Amino acid sequence: MTEYTDIAVTNADYVTTVEIQRPPTNFFDHSLIGQIADAFAAADEDPDCRAILLASQGKHFCAGANFGTGKADNSGSSDFTEEGFRNTTGILYREGARLFTTKTPIVAAIQGAAIGGGLGLALVADFRVAAHEARFAANFVKLGIHQGFGISVTLPRVIGQQAAAMMLLTGKRVTGEEALKIGLVDVLTDQANLRARATELAREIAENAPLAITSVRATLRAALADEVIKATEHELKEQQWLRATEDAEEGIRSVAERRAGNFQGR
């Protein structure tokens, strides 16, 4: 059994639970995404795994990416530094693309916020079970940058082009109830029942013929991994030049200060 530093992996009733353990906000970096990808790959090879439950400790599912300084001695700051962004985003997206090569169906249990890259992580899953308190946002334009983590592909695929454009161009937060209406969430439940309801759905999948499940899922998600890889290459180019603009500096400050941005288009 592989030992991980930021996730816990357990298995019961043909369901492998991968729990992110960076509470309360579960900011991720390429190390954490790599660990999740490793756990997913191991689950694919485990005959006792027929479905994966992706969950997290703490108040929020995932509040986004931690770019910090991009150095090995980074203390875990969630600061959105230009150096960290430049040094780590490409690595992060390469690790993230591995998640989409997973053969096993994935159910995500979403509590609290799934914001920015955290929304991208939630969209890796086949299904999302969310608490009423959950909220979702592709808030990249409020930061002054382009969306990433393959969201250009995954968000329209799940909720449609028009609803995706609404989220991406406004950057607005979507409640659990709104997410259910637009198809971003498949099941909405009480916070106290979230993990149990998500596990129930994973077990409902796992009780079926495993070879058929793998075959059907491969058909439904055909070429998705390749589309995400291509999309992240474009997303990264757009993010890199936008991150160097004054608007990005203002956007990052304004979001941190919980105010509207004063953008100048430069």
Q: What is the pLDDT of residues 79-97, one digit of tens each?
A: 556 566 666 777 888 899 9
In angstroms, rounded to a whole number, what is the distance separating the alpha carbons of residues 57 and 220? 30
Grouping H, G, I as helix, E, B as strand and the rest as coil, residue 69 is: coil
Instruction: Name the pTM for this structure.
Output: 0.91
- Map out the domains of the chain with their CATH numbers: 7-191+210-219 (3.90.226.10)
Give the mean pLDDT of 179-201: 98
Grouping H, G, I as helix, E, B as strand and the rest as coil, residue 37 is: helix
pLDDT digits 0-9 by tens, 123-133 = 999 999 999 99
DSSP H stretches of helix in the chain:
30-44, 82-99, 117-122, 140-143, 151-159, 161-170, 176-182, 194-206, 210-220, 224-243, 246-256
Task: Pick the closest to residue 232 from 137, 94, 119, 115 (CA basis).
Answer: 94
Q: Kindly give the pairing relationship between strand 106-110 and strand 113-115.
A: unpaired
pLDDT for the residue numbered 65: 83
* Distances, alpha carbon 240 to alpha carbons 66, 140, 148, 210, 233, in Å: 16, 13, 11, 42, 11
